[in-house]
Structure 1
Amino acid sequence: MASTICYCLWFSYVTILHLVSSLAKSDNYIIHMDLSAMPKPFTNYHSWYLSTLSSALDNTDLDTNNLNSASSRLIYTYTNVMNGFSASLSLAELEALKSSAGYISSMPDLPIKLDTTHSPQFLGLNHRTGAWPAAKFGQDVIIGVVDTGLWPESKSFKDDGMTEIPSRWKGQCVNSIGFNSSLCNKKLIGARFFNKGYRAENPNITIVNSARDDTDGHGTHTSSTAAGSRVDGVSFFGYAPGSATGVAPRARVAMYKAVWYDHAVASDVIAAIDSAISDGVDVLSLSLGYDNVPLYEDPVALATFAAMEKGIFVSTSAGNDGPDKPLHNGTPWVTTVAAGTLDRELRGTLKLGNGVSITGLSVYLGNFSSSHFPITFMGLCNNDTELTTKAKGKIVVCENFIYSSILIQEAEAVGAVFISNDSDSSFGHMFPSIIIDSMNGDIVKAYIKKNSDSTASMSFKTTALGTKPAPSVDSYSSRGPSKTCPFVLKPDITAPGTLILAAWPEKLQVDVDNYGNVTLFNSFNIVSGTSMACPHIAGVGALLKGARPDWSPAAIRSAIMTTSDIFDNTGRFIKDVGEGYKRATPLALGAGHVNPNRALFPGLVYDAGVQDYVNLLCALNFTQKNITAITRFSSFNCSSPSLDLNYPSFIAYFHANDSSSRRVQEFQRTVTNVGVGQTTYVARVTPIKGFRVSVIPNKLVFKEKNEKLSYKLRIEDARMTRENEVAFGYLTWRDMKHVVRSPIVATTLKLES
């Protein structure tokens, strides 16, 4: 009996020790907080979070001698990702925190399996359901890319497990300098180069006759984004580690090099597309364009009309001129792609001398000392004399990063913190720098002002997934309406374009700032631009082409547009970075952000063929020569000219403050039922300020699959509108399974004469 009692006491003692040990052991937790509960004395969320955490640490009496300060326990405070913070806590401290005012919930900071290219994951593509398995990952679909060439040795173009090349393929891998045809395989099935036009215009220039991407890297990046094979264990010098894959990883790639040293001429581009059509590509990805060129002189417009005739889906980039200049590639028969952000951020951390840690955006590639350095605030950092005398050996805080980074480096500062809401962190590869938002900037400035001996340290190479809000239309993405054809709403769609990681020529220097004569190479690179968004849509087009081979290019575009997302991952309307994070209009966003899985089942499609586009060209008052330049035929039917193309979007122009002008505009549309047989769709229009919009009829009753029915959309100017106004809303057709949404823009923007 005594031994039993002794054993029980020993067991209880061990259990208590284990419990105490468990309660004292620290793990990382993510804490969700209710911002409305923040007491008024606190001026910002960060200080409230820090105080809340400090109180929780004070409330625990377990192992108090080993407790660090609250600031050292705080890992991140979150402003966009979520409302709350992450911290290192014991179970006892976590329990104490739960009684704090404003506490909502907590979760362990579990490890996440990173997916580097990440955009396929962000787009919802997965191996089990949806577009990937339905399209067999793009198997046997051929994507032609007109670009700067390609690096054939990249693992993104390996052909492991791929089937034989389709017999319909007529192209070839041309032997060229440094690019033997044997480098092609079942993935990379074609490689040609086109430089005769460029040579003719630049007779004294030295270029290598090769399809190899040996001067730019752009073509390797875009082609692997569209159709790269899966590559494990990649990163950008530690950022975004994981596995990379293209949107259509089983699709074939054919490269048509027509861009040389970042330049291209129309003759080479047209020749490249011409060859692609002959070779038998199914999809064209064109991350290039020409500004302020009429349709009948635009090489992309000219060549892609023929591609459309052959059933080739064409994806093009909108351009990178931001809100201030109109987009290019406003061609009605191509799909024009704007660029958005991902829910992934590449980060650095600034740790102030008081222990407060602040995270921001960074892609600094070097190593940085963990020591604390003096930190100073220098306003706009645009006074080079002041920088020279005060910045040396310090971390400099600036409110302007676009023009000041070089000056700061020349002043021999050890690092920089830029206060900005801009999402582009790609400029700081070779100089230790972090971009923080204005709220965190206020915290840093307050610390510096309060402490004459203020110091800070910096750390880098952190990747965060699931950041919010995402996506947003990024600031550099060019906006509509199209100058070349303003009667068709452009852009069409938004796709990931910011900080996209994809393959890069391993012997080509990564595009970094060479301050200090540092040269770096890597087989993957992070690049931003609508050039990166374009191949995403080319990949989605390949998936739809594989799953729906009978669909026309217009039907594929329609499916992509009408099933897209207009809400971000916070459940709110997608924002526009270039317009101060206001709600994005269709002139920036297009129909929405692409959703490949939903595009498989659009329910209804707006189809269009050659004659529909000819009717549009006729209505644009082009001359016979102009139209012939596009259609290639001198004989065409202009008996039914119409600016009202059967398109899955609407744009109506009104004259401001002019009672004599047309106050009503009508659009005729025909939709094809590609869903179930018998079904009924009902129309709904979101209110558009200043306009009355109606749909006639507002109900479409389909008796069978592939049946076509028509309706009319009527937009009436309900008041005298001011100049340069843009109002917008959406027309949505719904049945029991499908939501078919089209953007509507009503504007008083002036048409180009």
Structure 2
Amino acid sequence: MANHLIIPLCFFLFCLSTLAQNDIYIVHMDLTAMPKPLKTQHTWYLSTLASSLSDKSQLPTKLIYTYNHVINGFSASLSETELSALKSSPGFVSAIKDVSVKVDTTHSTKFLGLSSNSGAWALTNFGENVIVGVVDSGVWPESESFSDDGMGEIPSRWKGKCEVGTQFDASLCNKKLIGARFFNKGLVAHNSNLTISMNSTRDTGGHGTHTSSTAAGNFVGNASFFGYAPGVASGVAPKAHVAIYKALWDEGAHTSDIIAAIDQAIADGVDVLSLSLGLDGVPLYEDPIAVAAFAAVEKGIFVSTSAGNEGPFFGTLHNGTPWVLTVAAGTIDREFAASLVLGDGQSVNGLSLYLGKVNPDEIPVVFMDACASVNELSRLGEKIVVCQDKNDSLGDQIQNILAAKVAGGIFITNNTDIEFFIESLFPAIFMSVENGELIKDYIKRGINPKARMKFKETNLSIKPAPKTTSYTSRGPSESCPFVMKPDIMAPGSLILASWPENISVATIGNDQSLFSNFNVISGTSMACPHASGVAALLKAAHPEWSPAAIRSAIMTTSDITDNTGSPITDMGLTNQPRANPLAMGSGHINPNRALDPGLIYNASAEDYVNLLCALNFTEKNIQVITKTSSTNCSSPSLDLNYPSFIGYFNSNPTTSVKEFERRVTNVGEGSATYVAKVTEIKGFKVSVVPDKLVFRKKYETQRYKMVMEGPKVMEETVAFGYLSWEDDEGKHVVRSPIVATSFSPDIVSSSSKN
């Protein structure tokens, strides 16, 4: 009797073992390879799959789906042996292992916690009825990101239009892309003989298409970048309407055109303005973009701007304007990967964004240490060359391998900031030192070491993330050092978004250009529209909120820890254990928490004027910004009601105390009590009076004072901590960064306590 029980059990365990060895793959096929006698793709897929199976009777259980529209191919459950056999089938293109469904490809929306089932997307219907204006290089209207499938009606308040121009007519606009205008009179005035190659809103650079689709692009299925980052793409506010204002041109860009675009956007009725552009090192009154933004904010329009890409040095950011949101760039939890499969079957993983084809066969692999001699490398021929990064020689090594024209390069490096290297002109994989040792050991012990390179792999849930990128520009703000900048960090590293199909995304090999409907690029230009999209969601949820209220909600609800629960690190300072607020602002943006911030720091036009007065601007300087001929400077103050604090020490050795006054408004439902908590700042004592705020009703405002007492001489350049107001129900934490620095502000006003 026992034997009868054992046999079925053993058979069951064997079946489980066999099933465990199978994976589900999505198989892409080249439709042109389908034999003409076959009448349907389904028939071809069945016969192709059957030919790879040793047991044809399993065919009905092996095939999962056939696809006729989303891709040319099918999905199937395959063992490694069956997959290997399938790869030799005529018409086989690629097989991607099936993984848990992701909401997007611009994976940043998933990383931000946006979900169709709850939070900011669900509560705002994806930003419905909000209009996002983007001043940039134009738009590719045929992109699926600007399809109006599922879009609501155009708001009746909209006054914009779709301008006709070269290769652009009004029919290209719809319920998603509701406006398109272009501005180049300033550009032409600088060069009367200039011929504009595309005199319309059509994008000839790609930047505008990328930023606008990041902010508010519609859902696009089956998106990828040559197999990398496959899935469904969407903007942060996918149901918001988009209006494009082209002011950046291949032939040049001038502020006269940019502010004309902003001017028109205000007249047209946008709710949010996204500006991934800026000027460096000019006073506020000499910055036309800052001036134009002030007018927009006065009209209730939220303005989001990029911090710049001049990091990791302090004091390099632009758009340090008090009335806009200044956005720094961070990484996300996705990496683009490749692997080197060694001759002994060992697979070693690294990073790569190589887009071309590669020899699928095993070829000799050789270690060449620092790869310093192009002549030596050139004599190697068709080999995979392994290089060891020494003394930050990675850039030189890449150039040497490229010049030598070998089969491919493996670069062993401890450089953690290589995102601008990984999209290479030739097959290249970047390995950690640990994984590099595995490759070197294999080469040393092998008589004839060989390997093959595998590309187009995408890994998610990478830890730690986010990190502050090295290139994102740091504060303090040169134009207004007494308001801490940047304000917030948002995804900006290797972001996938829409791209004009006729503009090359990369060059490989012998100057071979590649084209795609999507592109992966990095910069604070990519971070800015993420914040613009979040602002659109908040505008949809709280249409009565001022731009300052929205900015406050974004800042005070941000995250200062990564997905491991540790403080966010800074790649620009060799992964410094804690990124400081002059790099990442208040923290990493969290749209779901921003919906319900509890308290907000509001600011009016009068508050900004008081700040301008305290900056010792002349009446004419202020008039440039405010458009008001008579300015009331009776209450000048550098202490703007802002959700962050920055104090300058050592500039006046006799003063080691800084005072700040703030007012906060309860936007929660009903009464609430908040208690102040301050994290320790080395060398400083921080006190808050009162340390408890009691609100009896919604929209009530309370005031408090914060005092920083520090040493007359700081030991470090920057010290920081946080002030958090926590409610008694444990629902809200309203956090503000506190920065103390030994930098000297360029502008000093004796009229302020700060």
Q: Same fold (TM over 0.5)?
A: yes
On the 8 A contact 1:395/1:456 being kept in 2, the answer is no
Which structure 2 residues correspond to residues 668-683 of structure 1 after superposition, within 5 A? 668-683=661-676
Distance 1:540 1:335 in 2: 12
1:569 — aligned with what?
563
Judging changes above 3 Å, is the alpha-carbon distance between structure 1 residues 344 and 599 closer, same or farther for their aligned structure 2 residues? same
Q: State the one-letter code of the partner of 2:589.
A: V
**Is residue 222 from structure 1 mapped to residue 222 from structure 2 by the alignment?**
no
Distance 1:207 1:733 in 2: 54
On the 8 A contact 1:351/1:357 being kept in 2, the answer is yes
2:499 — aligned with what?
504
**Is residue 393 from structure 1 mapped to residue 383 from structure 2 by the alignment?**
yes
On the 8 A contact 1:398/1:416 being kept in 2, the answer is no
SS where residue 614 of structure 1 aligns?
helix
Moved more, 115-124 or 224-233: 115-124
Judging changes above 3 Å, is the alpha-carbon distance between structure 1 residues 513 and 406 closer, same or farther for their aligned structure 2 residues? farther
On the 8 A contact 1:150/1:219 being kept in 2, the answer is yes
Which structure 2 residues correspond to residues 254-403 of structure 1 after superposition, within 5 A? 254-261=243-250, 263-324=252-313, 326-390=316-380, 393-399=383-389, 400-403=393-396
Q: Name the TM-score, length of structure 1 as normaliser.
A: 0.85
1:27 — aligned with what?
21
**Is residue 732 from structure 1 mapped to residue 724 from structure 2 by the alignment?**
yes
1:440 — aligned with what?
435
Distance 1:572 1:633 in 2: 48
On the 8 A contact 1:375/1:448 being kept in 2, the answer is yes
2:642 — aligned with what?
647
On the 8 A contact 1:147/1:287 being kept in 2, the answer is yes
Deviations 1:306-357 (CA, angstroms, capped at 9, x unpaired): 0000000011011111212611110110000011111111110122344432
Moved more, 697-706 or 325-334: 325-334
Deviations 1:38-83 (CA, angstroms, capped at 9, x unpaired): xxxxxxxxxxxxxxxxxxxxxxxxxxxxxxxxxxxxxxxxxxxxxx
Distance 1:212 1:292 in 2: 30
On the 8 A contact 1:143/1:542 being kept in 2, the answer is yes
**Is residue 194 from structure 1 mapped to residue 183 from structure 2 by the alignment?**
yes
How much does 1:369 deviate? 1.9
SS where residue 324 of structure 1 aligns?
coil
How much does 1:423 deviate? 4.3
Which structure 2 residues correspond to residues 534-553 of structure 1 after superposition, within 5 A? 534-553=528-547
How much does 1:294 deviate? 1.4
Deviations 1:676-735 (CA, angstroms, capped at 9, x unpaired): 22111000000000111010110001111100000001000146324x610000000000
2:588 — aligned with what?
593
2:156 — aligned with what?
167
Judging changes above 3 Å, is the alpha-carbon distance between structure 1 residues 262 and 422 closer, same or farther for their aligned structure 2 residues? farther
Q: State the one-letter code of the partner of 2:567.
A: F
**Is residue 603 from structure 1 mapped to residue 603 from structure 2 by the alignment?**
no
144, 149, 155: which is aligned to 1:155?
Answer: 144
How much does 1:262 deviate? 7.4
Judging changes above 3 Å, is the alpha-carbon distance between structure 1 residues 622 and 446 closer, same or farther for their aligned structure 2 residues? farther
Judging changes above 3 Å, is the alpha-carbon distance between structure 1 residues 379 and 203 closer, same or farther for their aligned structure 2 residues? farther
**Is residue 530 from structure 1 mapped to residue 524 from structure 2 by the alignment?**
yes
Q: State the one-letter code of the partner of 2:460.
A: L
Judging changes above 3 Å, is the alpha-carbon distance between structure 1 residues 197 and 458 closer, same or farther for their aligned structure 2 residues? same
How much does 1:291 deviate? 1.1
Identity of aligned pairs, percent? Answer: 58
Q: State the one-letter code of the partner of 2:586.
A: A
**Is residue 613 from structure 1 mapped to residue 605 from structure 2 by the alignment?**
no
Deviations 1:566-611 (CA, angstroms, capped at 9, x unpaired): 1111110111111111121101110000000000000000000101
Moved more, 393-402 or 408-417: 393-402
Q: Which runs of 5+ in 2 are unaligned?
A: 24-78, 81-96, 748-754
Q: Give the root-mean-square deviation of aligned CA atoms.
A: 2.2
**Is residue 141 from structure 1 mapped to residue 135 from structure 2 by the alignment?**
no
Distance 2:130 2:324 in 1: 18
Which structure 2 residues correspond to residues 653-692 of structure 1 after superposition, within 5 A? 653-655=648-650, 660-692=653-685
1:472 — aligned with what?
467
2:92 — aligned with what?
none
How much does 1:633 deviate? 1.6
Q: Which runs of 5+ in 1 are unaligned?
A: 30-87, 90-108
Distance 1:110 1:173 in 2: 42
Which structure 2 residues correspond to residues 701-716 of structure 1 after superposition, within 5 A? 701-716=694-709
1:77 — aligned with what?
none
On the 8 A contact 1:426/1:499 being kept in 2, the answer is no
Distance 1:429 1:220 in 2: 23
SS where residue 438 of structure 2 aligns?
helix
Distance 2:714 2:196 in 1: 55
**Is residue 113 from structure 1 mapped to residue 105 from structure 2 by the alignment?**
no
Judging changes above 3 Å, is the alpha-carbon distance between structure 1 residues 514 and 364 closer, same or farther for their aligned structure 2 residues? closer
Judging changes above 3 Å, is the alpha-carbon distance between structure 1 residues 22 and 163 closer, same or farther for their aligned structure 2 residues? closer
**Is residue 417 from structure 1 mapped to residue 405 from structure 2 by the alignment?**
no
How much does 1:19 deviate? 2.5
On the 8 A contact 1:391/1:408 being kept in 2, the answer is no
Moved more, 469-478 or 392-401: 392-401
How much does 1:136 deviate? 1.8
SS where residue 513 of structure 1 aligns?
strand
Deviations 1:20-50 (CA, angstroms, capped at 9, x unpaired): 4434665389xxxxxxxxxxxxxxxxxxxxx
Distance 1:315 1:464 in 2: 30
SS where residue 346 of structure 1 aligns?
strand
How much does 1:449 deviate? 4.8
Judging changes above 3 Å, is the alpha-carbon distance between structure 1 residues 430 and 654 closer, same or farther for their aligned structure 2 residues? same
**Is residue 520 from structure 1 mapped to residue 510 from structure 2 by the alignment?**
no
SS where residue 410 of structure 1 aligns?
helix
**Is residue 242 from structure 1 mapped to residue 226 from structure 2 by the alignment?**
no
116, 119, 126: which is aligned to 1:127?
Answer: 116
On the 8 A contact 2:374/2:403 being kept in 1, the answer is no
Distance 2:147 2:274 in 1: 20
Judging changes above 3 Å, is the alpha-carbon distance between structure 1 residues 262 and 329 closer, same or farther for their aligned structure 2 residues? farther
On the 8 A contact 1:179/1:210 being kept in 2, the answer is no
On the 8 A contact 1:393/1:412 being kept in 2, the answer is no
Q: State the one-letter code of the partner of 1:360.
A: G
**Is residue 698 from structure 1 mapped to residue 691 from structure 2 by the alignment?**
yes
Distance 1:675 1:382 in 2: 63
On the 8 A contact 2:665/2:699 being kept in 1, the answer is yes
SS where residue 207 of structure 1 aligns?
coil
